[in-house]
Amino acid sequence: MTGEAPAWALTPTQVAADIEIASRQRLFIGGRFVTPRSRRHRDVVAPATGMTLTRLTDASGADVDAAITAATAAQRGWTRSARLTPLLRLADRIERDPTLAILATRETGRPIRAATGVDTPLAARITRFNAGWADKLSHLVRGGNAPRSAGVVVVLVSGHAALLRVLWAVTPALAAGCPCVVKPSPHATLACLRLAEIARGADLPPGVLNVVTGGVKTGEALMTHAGARLIVISGRHATCRRACQGAAARTSPVVAEPRTPLTHVVFEDAALDQAVEAIVAGPEASPLASAGLGIRLLVQEPVREEVTARLLDRLRARRVGDPLDANTDIGPLPATHHAVAIDDMLESVRTAGGVVRTGGDPTVPRPDGGGHWCPPHLVTDVPAPDALAHAEAGGPFWFMDTFRTTAEATTLAGDARALAVWSDKSARLFAVTETLAATTVWANTLPQIDPAAAGMAGVRRFLR
């Protein structure tokens, strides 16, 4: 490298994001924002600045009861003929609403470029696809008898890609005729509260969609409420398992959608440059598949050096910085406890002899203040099974292990639920996909979750 290279770097930008955020958030119950009964609340800290953004209520048993009561009352009026139009209208409103992206960016640190370019269009697509079930339900069952809805649904969603996960559960439920009570993670509520407001504007009847806020206790109150007919929980593997174990003590069934790390299997004959590009763009471009966790890579031995070099090249160009900058690829870590989990994980990786290399464009300034910034890391020489556990710590981490044969690849990737395979040979793609237990497999493409791919499975669970 010569020192005389002309310096040229992008100038920081800032997307206009001055939207008013109330200092105290209320609950959305029965079609309006209500003052909570609970006196307990917590601060929401903006990850980019470390400053308090707003305050949330920790909804109490009484608040939860009010929400479930409102939902139960709305059931009767939420008839099949009443559902389609407001749900389609909701999709249109989501598509045109810039504040959903801005709120997610300010509250969770999701880069605005991804929030606007990926999340909002996908949110609209999920809503529109599921809205379409509303007038087609009788075609879902043999015999033509219209199925009945399951009743009030409680939706609990963790912080990463919260809005998308909420819509993923809520829109098929609403189309099936189930009123919903949603409790997003306390780290990602603002976009969901805004969603409720948009739903009201789209003429969803009062009580059909309710949003309460709070932490674990509020979640427990919702899950144990007698009025909850079905519980959908979308979060980390451990959280889902806990919820399912507790389900034995309750009457209502639990649908768990665990967030698991994405695994890429790269064969030597793959289009390496494009595979690397998709692997690196993952967290930004495919929020649902990458799940806000670290990404695991299984690379065939002969291309190990190639892939490592290419990955490092691309990771070095990633821009870590202000999430409101239109050019930012990687924002701050979402919450303080993630930083601790990541330190612990790195510690155990290094103890086990793993090699850690960092990327990130050094010319990109980081905002001052209390944000936690983490450049992208490539971790090599960690055994694949360990990588799965390490990836649970979250953050911009890529864990690489190698394999020699197709059989080795399938063994190592065997426990992966979300899997992307890269090979130019279709025989290899089929061999891997047929032997795995993965629920979703992508072949030679960006791992994007498409509502249409979920098909009827999404709506069926909300019918009796």
By the criterion CB under 8 A, which residues form the site for other proteins? 1-2, 4-11, 13, 113, 117, 269-274, 277-278, 281, 302-303, 306, 309, 313, 317, 326-327, 424, 444-446
User: Residue 444 corresponds to which tokens in the numbers above?
Assistant: 């030679």
Question: Is the CB of 63 or the CB of 325 nearer to other proteins?
Answer: 325
CB of 421 to other proteins, least distance (A): 13
Question: Is the CB of 179 or the CB of 447 nearer to other proteins?
Answer: 447
* CA dihedral sign of residues 158, 118, 201, 133: negative
CB of 207 to other proteins, least distance (A): 41
Question: Is the CB of 6 or the CB of 144 nearer to other proteins?
Answer: 6
Task: Give the start-end residues of each E strand in 310-396.
Answer: 355-358, 377-380
Question: Is the CB of 7 or the CB of 249 nearer to other proteins?
Answer: 7
Question: Is the CB of 6 or the CB of 353 nearer to other proteins?
Answer: 6
Question: Is the CB of 178 or the CB of 421 nearer to other proteins?
Answer: 421
- Phi first, then psi, for residue 24 (nearest 5°) are -135, 125
CB of 326 to other proteins, least distance (A): 4
CA 364 to CA 376: how far, in whole Å?
Answer: 13
Distance set, CA 78 to CA 382, 455, 463 (Å):
52, 23, 14
Question: Is the CB of 158 or the CB of 308 nearer to other proteins?
Answer: 308
User: Residue 119 corresponds to which tokens in the numbers above?
Assistant: 């999340």
CA 371 to CA 394: how far, in whole Å?
Answer: 16
CB of 335 to other proteins, least distance (A): 27
CA 209 to CA 195: how far, in whole Å?
Answer: 9
Judge whether 444 and 270 are in contact, CB under 8 Å. yes
CB of 7 to other proteins, least distance (A): 7
Question: Is the CB of 8 or the CB of 368 nearer to other proteins?
Answer: 8
CB of 405 to other proteins, least distance (A): 18
CB of 273 to other proteins, least distance (A): 5
Question: Is the CB of 129 or the CB of 442 nearer to other proteins?
Answer: 442
- Helix (H) or strand (E) run with residue 106 in it: helix 99-108
Judge whether 218 and 156 are in contact, CB under 8 Å. no
CB within 8 Å of 443: residues ≥ 6 apart: 420, 421, 422, 423, 429, 433
Report the b/e string of 209-233 with b at 16+ CB within 10 A.
bbbbbbbeebbbbbbbbebbbbbbb
Question: Is the CB of 28 or the CB of 442 nearer to other proteins?
Answer: 442
Question: Is the CB of 114 or the CB of 124 nearer to other proteins?
Answer: 114
CB of 14 to other proteins, least distance (A): 9
CB of 317 to other proteins, least distance (A): 4
User: Residue 171 corresponds to which tokens in the numbers above?
Assistant: 């829109």
CA 404 to CA 302: how far, in whole Å?
Answer: 8
DSSP of 188-236, one letter per residue?
Answer: S-HHHHHHHHHHHHTTPPTTSEEE---SHHHHHHHHT-TT--EEEEEEE
CB of 295 to other proteins, least distance (A): 17
User: Residue 295 corresponds to which tokens in the numbers above?
Assistant: 């990404």
Report the b/e string of 248-273 with b at 16+ CB within 10 A.
eeeebebbbbbbbbbbbbbbbebebe
Closest CA to 94 of 38, 147, 171, 22: 171
CB of 263 to other proteins, least distance (A): 19
